[in-house]
Amino acid sequence: MSGLLDSAWLQRLERMQMTTRRLASGAHAGKRRSKQLGSSLEFADYRAYAPGDDLRQLDWNAYGRSGKLFVKRFLDEQELHISIYLDCSRSMGYGHPSKLHRSKQLAAALGYLSLCHLDYVSVYAFDQSIRGAMTRLQGKAKAAQLFTFLESIEPGGAGDLNAALRSGQAVSGKPGLSIILSDFLYENGYESGVAFVQAAKQEVTLVQVLAEEERNPAYQGELRLLDSETGSAKEIAFSPVMIEEYAKTLSAYQAQLSAYAFGRGIAYVSVEAEQSPEQIVFGIFRQAGLIR
């Protein structure tokens, strides 16, 4: 069906579901429990009969026991709004496979399993602005449209998550789940953009995707490094001590990102671009409680 996903595990994805700490509260029939009471087959509780109630919902067994009329109430199953933010800045083209390619596969997997559960799915590609978007897809029949959009995304310019997500083009206005796929390596930080999305009644998950060369650089000697986004250059003398300091700095940055997320009630997941999509989705995402 798609060059991004192996067709052999699409059926397994169909059995998975996005999880949320909040119950869905949409307006159309879906496949997950809602805060609202409606007509699904999952029983909630009883209430006293009132004139005009649907007589088919009367519980005659309860009437036989108590002599009083009670109406059954059920939990309605309704859709959830899923927003996926995909960082397509130039630095995401780094790695083998690239961080962007792996992120597109993860977006495809999360989007597909959501469509299979009749959730609404919106995807936003951004660098320093929203480069492209496909919004309010619903139903498995829209999967091909989603995959085609994701496959078309290429690395763009310099990244600025704060500017992109605060632009007003990146929030649907509906409460739901928002997943941000990025390396989170921004000169201007990420805090205000993430906070803006969260303020729009979104349950946010940060997925940091890093390449092997970023986690464990295997450089030696004196090198001239170029920033892929700004073009600025820096002369670096690589030594075991320098590599050790780099590792400490990266670890401290990830700890800071994790602490920021924890402090705001946001989920944070770190993945390696070299890991297979199956390992990430069925392993890391499942363990983190992002899907079940």
Give residue-wise pLDDT tens across range 183-218.
999 999 999 999 999 999 999 999 999 999 999 988
Domains and CATH numbers, the chain: 7-16+80-288 (3.40.50.410), 29-78 (no CATH)
Say yes or no to pLDDT of 29 above 70. Answer: no
Cα–Cα distance for residue pair 274/5, rounded to 1 Å: 15
- Return the closest-CA partner of residue 90 out of 55, 64, 127: 127
Q: Encode pLDDT of 59-73 as tens digits.
A: 778 778 788 776 665
Pairing of strands 202-210, 267-272: parallel
How does the average pLDDT of the chain come out, rounded?
Answer: 86
Say yes or no to pLDDT of 82 above 60. Answer: yes
pLDDT at 3: 84
Grade residue 239 by pLDDT with cuts at 50, 70 and 90: confident
Pairing of strands 176-182, 81-87: parallel
Instruction: Enter the pTM of the model.
Output: 0.81
